[in-house]
Amino acid sequence: MTDTPKRSYDLEKRKRIMRRSLKLGHCICDPSRGCPCDIFRNDGHCPCAGERPAPKGDIPPLTTLVHNAGCASKISAADLEAILHRLKEPENPNVVVGMAASDDAGVYRLDDGTLLVQTVDVMTPCVDDPRLFGRICAANCLSDIYAMGGTPKTAVSVVGFPIETLPGDAMYEMLAGALEVFEESNVALLGGHSVKDAEIKLGFAITGTIAPEDLAEHNAAKAGDLLVLTKPLGTGVLGFSHRIGRVDDDVFAAAVETMAQQNNLAAEAMRDAGAAGCTDVTGFGLFGHLASMLRASGASAEIWAEALPALPMALEEFAEDVVPGGVERNMEYVGDDLTVEDGVSDAQKYLGFDAQTSGGLLIAVSQEQFPALAAALAERNQTAWTIGRILDGEHGAIHLRQARPADDADPVSSPCCCSEEPAPATGDCCADAPAEPSCCSSSTTSASLDAFAALMASATADGAIDAKTKELITFALVVQGRCAPCFAHHYKRAKDLGLTDAQLDEAAWLATAIGGAVVRMFYLEQKQALAKSAAPSGGCCSDSGCC
């Protein structure tokens, strides 16, 4: 055989290495293969001698190179639990949260005022672009520290890469993307470790710190707590559907946007509110992670299917019986602990089991702390949904109901956005509030709101710009800012002024051009909510909306 003319090789090295392999009857690098191997026979290269063809063409789509994408590549929770429970828990008085807790991260006491928080996470590509994959992976790994209420400080990389078959540029782009996220988060990447692997794998060991009083654990949920979720669900099914060509890039873009979003601001809001129960939602799905939280807390939960936030097209794909394997594995882990009320669709049930990549935080917050959490989330422009509550008894049980009980009082409905308190980011803002004048009207008794209403009346009146155009501008700003209560009010006002849906759609596209796919996702969610009910889900009273 002859060498490729594009590259010169060390023929003496090749002869020396192949002579050893031929003598043994096995390749010295891969004993499962003989020598000469297929690569040598077909391409004239001896990988064991360091020979490989020069990279050709572009980097292939990364998701085509792996069997399971993203956090769906995790070992199932049931298999993992069966193995880990056989291990002896190390005895160390400074271990605050260890293996037995099965929490998002381990916690070690450095001194009376400082806890060390450590975690490691590794995943396969969930998107085709290497740099974007690196960003999503870094956000996913940092999330475990945020879920504990901690502040990440350092990172160390773990890489598996088929360096003999893929150009090294792909590995560079992955690490460069992750480094961008770490720099944004003020986290120092200290180094790492890499191995040759048939599939691409990227992960990071993250170390952070936390004050003891800020520690949030998944065993801290208590009966009466409300459950708040900070990201929509559906990244697993949409990623799968995108890989097999069922959904296009525009639909998948919303999933990519939410996967790349960090949970740092949601964690800050949780600390500000003093919430002590939390976990992040990743590969085991919402119900898998919730079941772990409930078993550790000795409690059960009620989830309202209608309140579960879904990425665009996620429920539609489940309704078409597109159910990835990760859903089945997560269902096996939860098992009979889930009971489903009549009227709940299979699609809604599957959504709760969908394996998420870089999902949101699931926060258990007391009714007294809920208004503070809602305000803290709103201040940071963080979307969130109240999806259920913690109950007594039946440790680990999850009751999936279609809707929240009609007589269930919302602890935040009294300090509603129609009052002087900050508008909550979650829950049914004015669902149980008595009819009141709009917070944009001048009939309220609050002097500060009187002044604000006067400002709004002046700003939206005809002038150099006519009132309709001003309302279109305002509507675009509302969509770009992702204010759900504001959307309800300004949608109604726009329709009252005679603006058409086509005009509002164009205004929303302008907002999307500035804010990205997550803004588009918000717009579609709000329109779907309006189509279901005169009062938007998670919003304010339709007749007394907020500005």
Separation between Cα atoms, residue 355 and residue 287, nearest integer Å: 10
Q: Do residues 53 and 9 lie in contact, with contact meaning Cβ atoms separated by under 8 Å?
A: no
At position 232, the amino acid (one-letter code) is P
Chain centroid, CA 306 distance in Å: 19
What would the DSSP string read from start to end of 269-310?
A: HHHHHT--EEEE--TTHHHHHHHHHHHHHT-EEEEEGGG--B
Q: Do residues 362 and 290 lie in contact, with contact meaning Cβ atoms separated by under 8 Å?
A: yes
Q: Do residues 149 and 105 lie in contact, with contact meaning Cβ atoms separated by under 8 Å?
A: no
The residues annotated as belonging to the active site are 71
Q: Which among 138, 162, 425 has a CA at the least distance from the CA of 263?
A: 138
If 0-12 CB within 10 Å is exposed, 13-18 middle and 19+ buried, where does residue 100 land? middle
Tokens representing residue 338 in the block: 């889930």
- Strands in 338-340's sheet, in edge-to-edge order, are 277-280, 361-365, 226-229, 385-391, 300-304, 398-401, 338-340
If 0-12 CB within 10 Å is exposed, 13-18 middle and 19+ buried, where does residue 165 land? middle
Separation between Cα atoms, residue 368 and residue 361, nearest integer Å: 19
Give Cα separations from 286 to 188, 232, 274, 356, 389 (angstroms).
30, 10, 22, 8, 14
Q: Do residues 181 and 262 lie in contact, with contact meaning Cβ atoms separated by under 8 Å?
A: yes
Chain centroid, CA 93 distance in Å: 34
Indicate the SS3 state at residue 226. Answer: strand
Residue 50 backbone phi and psi in degrees, to 5? 80, 15
Separation between Cα atoms, residue 350 and residue 285, nearest integer Å: 9
